[in-house]
Structures are given as C-alpha cells and as structure tokens.
Amino acid sequence: MVETQTETTAITEVEKPARLFVSVSPHVKSAETINKIMWTVVACLMPPLILSVFIFGFQTLIITVISVASCVATEAISQKLLHRPVTVKDGSAVITGVLLAYIIPPGVPYWMPILGAVMAIFVTKVLMGGIGFNIFNPALIGRAFLVATYPVAMTSAWLLPIRDASIFKYMGTGVDAITTATPLYVLKHYGIGAVIEKFGSLASIYGNFFIGWRPGCIGETSAFLLIIGGLFLIYKKYITWHIPVSVIVSVGFFTWVFGGEKLFTGNPLLAVLSGGVILGAFFMATDYVTSPNQKAGQLFFGAGIGALTVLIRLKGGYPEGVCYAILLMNTLTPAIDQWFKPRRFAPQPQEGAQK
C-alpha cells in the first residue's frame, strides 16, 4: 500500500469523510491489471485444450488439470513456506500450468506434470523472487527438465489423432498407448518423402496440421486456434505482433534456405505448422518478463528464436527446437534491452556542452 491514510482536520461544519487517501499523482489509472491480462491469456489458451480432447482423447484434459493444479499448489505452498504473500490469484501460475501441459506429449503418465510444475514454479519462478523476477519462461524450464529426466516418455509418448470420435480411447494407457512419431521426427530422420507417405499429400498435410489433426504435444497442434487466441491478445493490445511475426517469419525463412537438400529448397510452411512454432511464437516468446521491451529488440529476439529453432531442428539432436531456442534467447533479453533503447523525445545536449 503506497497511500498513507491521514486523519482530516477539516474545519468545515458539513459532513466530512473519516479519512482521505493521499498519494502521489496520477490519481486515476487504467482498468488493465496483471490479473486481467493473465486470465485473458488463460481464456485464449482454452480452445486448443478443447480440441485436444477430440484429437487425443480425454487424458489431455486430465494432464492439463493436473499440471495447473500442481503449478498453483507449488506456488501457494512455496510462498507460504518462504513467508511471502501468496499470489496465485494473479493467474500467472495457471498460465504456466496450461503451457506446461501443452508442451508435453499426450501419452505421458499422469504424475509427470507434477514434477515439471515443481521445476517450473518453485525453481524457475519462486526461488528467483516470484512474478517479474524469473529469467526463464517457467513452463519451458519445466519441459526441458522433463525431457532431460525422462527422455523416453517425453520423446515417444505421441498419440495418433483419433479418427473414430472415441475420446476415451487412450484413457489410462500412459506410455504404452499406440504411439507414433511426430512429423518433425519423421522429417528429421526419414526426409520429406516419408512425411508425405505417413501423413498424406502436402496439401492435406497443410490442411490437417493447420486445424490440428496431427501427432504432437497436447496444445501445440492446432495452428488455427492458437492464431485466433494470439490475434485476440494483439487486439486487446496485451501483446504486439512483433515477436510472433518475427519468430514465424524467421523459422520459415531459415527453413526455406537451409531445410532442403540444396539451399533455398526447404519447406517453410511445413516447418511453421509442425512442432511448437505457433504456440511458442504467440504464447511463450511473448512472456513479458522474459522478452525484450522495445519493438526493435523484440524483432531481434523473435528472429533469434527462429534461427535457433531451425539450427536445432536441422543440426541438433532433437527433432524440435522451439523450447530451447526460446530459453536461449531468454538469457539474451537483458542484453537486448541494453542494445535497443527507446528514442528520446528531445535531442539531448552534447556531453560536456551542458554548463
């Protein structure tokens, strides 16, 4: 509380309030609050969850609920233990929970998101000082931790999209579900020919992948719904186009240049629609705390994410690189904010010329 409450000593005879608030100006503020922004982001992330239930079955919902609940619980318990104010109501832990669930495969055992949540919230966020002080995107650290600890489950628990509308199909089957491979895995190890063989003609691949009808992490498959959510955030002015567009353009560009057998023969559209590019571009790279503030810096940041993603996809050990690309660029954010400063209104007097 900034305001100090002071007893009024008015000499007036008329009725007067018991006390008046006194504070430094401004005395009116915009209606936007952290809570409102965070819960709007949560709402924008809901359509892909609903779709995922129809694509992979009911357990995507269960995994997401477990992830959110453990993120919120981790934050509340750790803040209690550290004697800090409990801030779970602001919705940021819920976002972390949803995003963590969205970037793990749908076929993992149900206890796995709990470990990821502890890593994401306790280590990455609360220990760093809470909201506003984390260096890395919490959900991505949670995923990176799980990939490092349970590489088999995290890279093979993919499920085929359900075609017969039996949404309870994979319930409780865990890792032993009918596993498949992601398009990026097939592309990396067997080439574009194998992708077409497995997922149909290029035209139908574009269509299916755009809607979300493909193997992948829980919330990353539907470019369509993610873009709708992202556009809503842009419309609300909570994020700007700079980071999402630069990430997507950069992934497409570098894939086109280096992704084919020869230079300039890669397939940019396939690269953008597969993996976590759209989810990362709109919902993870745009995280306020871990992304640069200036528009120019944001373009640089997004372009860097795209370049690193393509580098990891083409030359690294993993088929997908969005997660690590964002985490690597997170480390550069303070430096980017130093490089790109706002342009001042007034021309500054020369050094030494001032009196």
Partner 1 sequence: MAAETLATFPKGGIHPKESKELTEKLPVEVMPPPSQVRLFLKQHAGAPCRVSVKKRVMTTPSEERLFLKRHAGDLYQLLVKKKDKVFEGDLVGSVEKGLGANLHASLSGTLEGVENVQHPMVGKAPALVISADPEAEPRSYSSVDWKKFSREELIARIKDAGIVGLGGAGFPAHAKLTLGPDVKVDTLILNGAECEPYLTSDHRIMVEHPHDIIEGAKIILKILGIDYCAIGIENNKPDAIEALNRAIAQDTSKNGYKIAVKPLKVKYPQGSADQIMQSLTGRVRPAGARSSAIGIIVQNVYTTKAIYDAVAFGKPFYERVVTIAGKGIKRPANLMVKVGTSLADIVDYLGGTTPDLVKVVIGGPMMGFSVSTFDIPITKTTSGVLFLTKDEVDTESYYPCIRCGFCLEACPMGLEPNNIGIYVEAGRGAETEQFGIDDCFECGSCAFVCPAKRPLVQFIRLAKMKIRESKKK
Q: What is the three-class DSSP state of 167?
A: coil
Task: Write out the binding residues for partner 1, residues 195-234 only, by CB under 8 A.
Answer: none
Q: Closest separation between CB of residue 137 and partner 1, Å?
A: 13
Give the Å distances, CA to CA, from 239 to 283, 286, 327: 9, 7, 19
Binding pattern for the stretch 79-118 against partner 1, x by CB under 8 A and - elsewhere:
-----------x----------------------------
In terms of Cβ atoms closer than 10 Å to its own Cβ (0-12, 13-18, 19+), residue 87 is: middle
List binders of partner 1 among 123-152 (CB under 8 A).
129-133
Select from 46-54, 200-208, 210-218, 337-345 the region that touches partner 1 (CB under 8 A): 337-345
What are the backbone angles phi and psi of residue 20, rounded to the nearest 5°? Answer: -115, 140
Alpha helices in 200-342, H assignment, sequence order:
202-211, 223-235, 242-258, 268-273, 277-279, 295-315, 322-339
Tell me if 34 contacts partner 1 by CB under 8 A.
yes
**Among positions 163, 262, 315, 342, the unique one binding partner 1 when judged by CB under 8 A:** 342
Binding-site member from 76, 202, 294, 316 for partner 1 (CB under 8 A): 294
DSSP 176: G
Q: Which of 152, 164, 264, 347 binds partner 1 (CB under 8 A)?
A: 347
| Contact predicate 319/187, CB 8 Å | yes
Least Å from the CB of residue 239 to partner 1: 9
CB of 209 to partner 1, least distance (A): 32
Phi and psi, residue 206, nearest 5°: -55, -45
Instruction: Decide whether 129 or 151 has the Cβ nearer to partner 1.
Output: 129
Concatenating the DSSP letter of every residue in 55-112 gives HH-THHHHHHHHHHHHHHHHHHHHHHHTT----GGGSHHHHHHHHHHHTS-TTS-TTH
Distance CA 281, CA 106 (A): 21
Other Cβ atoms closer than 10 A to 127 = 13
- Confirm or reject binding of residue 352 to partner 1 (CB under 8 A): no
Closer to partner 1 by Cβ: residue 30 or 201: 30
Interface stretch with partner 1, choices 195-203, 226-234, 289-297, 304-312 (CB under 8 A): 289-297
Q: Which is nearer to partner 1, 201 or 348 (CB)?
A: 348
Q: How far is the CB of 297 from partner 1 (least distance, A)?
A: 9
Q: Is the peptide bond before 48 cis (omega within 30 degrees of 0)?
A: no
| Binding of residue 345 to partner 1 (CB under 8 A) | yes
- Residue 290 C-beta: closest distance to partner 1, Å: 8
For tokens 């976590």, name the residue.
Answer: 276
Q: Are 284 and 291 in contact (CB under 8 A)?
A: no
Q: Is 331 a binder of partner 1 (CB under 8 A)?
A: no
Which positions touch partner 1 (CB under 8 A)? Answer: 1-3, 6-17, 19-30, 32-34, 36-37, 90, 129-133, 288-289, 291, 293-294, 341-349, 354
